[in-house]
A and B are shown apart, each in its own frame.
Chain A
Amino acid sequence: MAKPVRMNLKEAVAQIPDGAMLTFSGFTIWRRPMAAVYEMIRQGKKNLHLVEVNGGTHSDLLIGAGCVKIWESCWIGHELFGKIGANLARRAEAGEVIIEDYSHVQILYRMAAGSMGLPYLPTYASMGTDMLNPAYDHLKIAGLRDGSNPKIPKKKYEIVSDPFYGGELLHMPAANPDWCIAHVQMVGEEGTVRVDGQLYSDSEAIKASDNVIIVAEQVVSEDYIRREPTRNLIAGHQVSCIVEQPWGAHPTGCFGCYETDGTFIQNFFKSTRTQEGLDAWVKEWIHDIPDYETYLERIGITRLEQLRANPAFGYSTTIKRGTR
């Protein structure tokens, strides 16, 4: 693979075609590529096929905005700040989005198999549950397991005999998304990726994907990032393009940089329970704003400074979080 290309956010997101299979960095409300998600909505992406280890504010918003046709994952919500993914729930209950359910390990192993270049991985995880109920194999019921889409396996899973030690277990098919968009703390000019804090399932998501957009808080010289290679997660040859976007995960948090903006997410959750509410929110925070810089101006320096992490801890020590 060639050296990754430096782009701005609009150019990077413009590469993703309608109907693409997409995955993301992060975990629920942490280190999600929100700036890129806003830009996808601004560019009017359609029929996206999300395959993600878990969902969160980013995917609930994309789904609410009408960009998504299929969501394959195990969980969606906003943690303490919103108990369900209300946009996914509304769209699924209206028959507008197809959900394919897995357990956390099952979908993680799909991504891990993809990252290893294997067709499947075996696991004992979540056998004896309705995730394996053929009546809920929604992609099959929708006629999408006919082999016409090479990204959709012909079977959701297979229960197989262990040929070596006896017994039975699951085989989960690999997932190889067309695109991964990852928000990270730092990337070198040649694409070397550094992630601080918990790594979530970033390594598996990035390495499984055919194309990778890295959105970083900071782009630094390769010389600098290579002085401590043990801190780096991904080499530049597995990265397609790099974008610098400070605060680009807001309102989700970014270890060592800033806190999750719980108030902002709570307001999103409360005001987007209906489609009208979601549409108004998208107009106010995305369509009426030309770019992410203007978005950050609207959030305001005072709020951003409250969210900023204290370097001794990796999180903000000034933000008010509870009732006391």
Chain B
Amino acid sequence: MSRDTTLAKVGEFKPIDLLAVAAAREVTDGDVVFAGTGLPMLAIGLAQLTTAPTAVCIYEAGSVDGRPISLPTSVGDARCIYQASVASGLFDVFNQLQRGVVDLAFLGGAEVDKYGNVNTTGMGKYGIVPEKRLTGSGGNSDINGLARKTVFIMVQEKRRFREKVDFVTSPGWRVPKWPSGEMVPKKEVYNKAFRGGPEAVISNMGVFRFDENGEMYLDTYHPGCTPQQILENCSFDLNISRVRGETKAPTLGELDLLYKTIDPEGIFLP
């Protein structure tokens, strides 16, 4: 089936469309992908319909390689296991993760630091009486710790791209080693179980990657944004010297798949 490969112009797509498309482009055909609720479901769905038809999707509630014909609203959804190879549970799929089966995972978070440490637990001072409680880690931290590559999808704001996150929920490239809490390279903590870490952060303004020292740099900026605007929405000293140019816009064919095939009901793409 040939699809329209014309690039959409600024104004012809929403920021959320570009997030889904940019995330889908991170999937390599044949990857075993761990996906969470929301945008990750759009991204893996789009990848499977375009460049990665043999990618396998695992949902953490216990669904392996489902072929849903109706978009799930969460990973526990009955829709996840339509035409799945196996319907199991958390113990099976998390053990696969620990075993080293997972190539790529899509994750989210409330705030991120320059090493890719992500917080989904609490904002402000944390402790027995927290200042502002969020959802908690869920599988985010396990998946980020043990998958080969992870891709974060985040909202770009100064208060969310921080020098230091208030709580290290999910481990990036430099992490606290307990009991001392000294920040060390992730490899020192994970030993033999070290397989990789955050590959990219995709925000509504740009795509960020990590250098040899595990520090974040700007890779591409989205159409309609500038590196300067991104710097203004980041509170750490972001490296923009390696920027390659503009993020490739969604194609009209990709937009068509997202709105007509993957989310025709308008659940995540209203």
Contacts and interface: CB of A to CB of B under 8 A. Distances in A.
A246 interface: no
Nearest to A105: B142
Interface in A93-110: 93-95, 98-99, 101-106, 108
A30 B176 contact: no
B245 interface: no
B270 interface: yes
Given A84-B135, A104-B138, A321-B267, 9 more contacts: A31-B76, A129-B176, A130-B176, A133-B181, A134-B179, A166-B191, A167-B193, A260-B77, A314-B82
Contact of A129 (B74, B78, B168): B168
Contacts of B87: 197-199
Specify the main secondary structure of chain A where it touches its partner: loop
Interface size class on chain A is 35 or more
B139 interface: yes
A73 B60 CA distance: 16
B135 A131 contact: no
A189 interface: no
A112 interface: yes
Nearest to A140: B128
Contacts of B91: 108, 112, 201, 203-204
Given A124-B98, A322-B267, A324-B266, A132 B178 contact: yes
Contacts of A80: 37-38, 73-74, 267
A135 B48 CA distance: 44
A200 B90 contact: yes
Nearest to A320: B265
A129 B169 contact: yes
Given A80-B37, A129-B168, A88 B133 contact: yes
A324 B260 CA distance: 11
Among B127, B145, B263, B264, the most chain A Cβ lie within 10 Å of the Cβ of: B145
Contacts of B37: 79-80
B176 A198 contact: no
B176 to A, nearest CB: 6
Contact of A123 (B98, B176, B266): B98
B185 to A, nearest CB: 10
A128 B172 CA distance: 9
A73 B90 CA distance: 14
B127 A129 contact: no
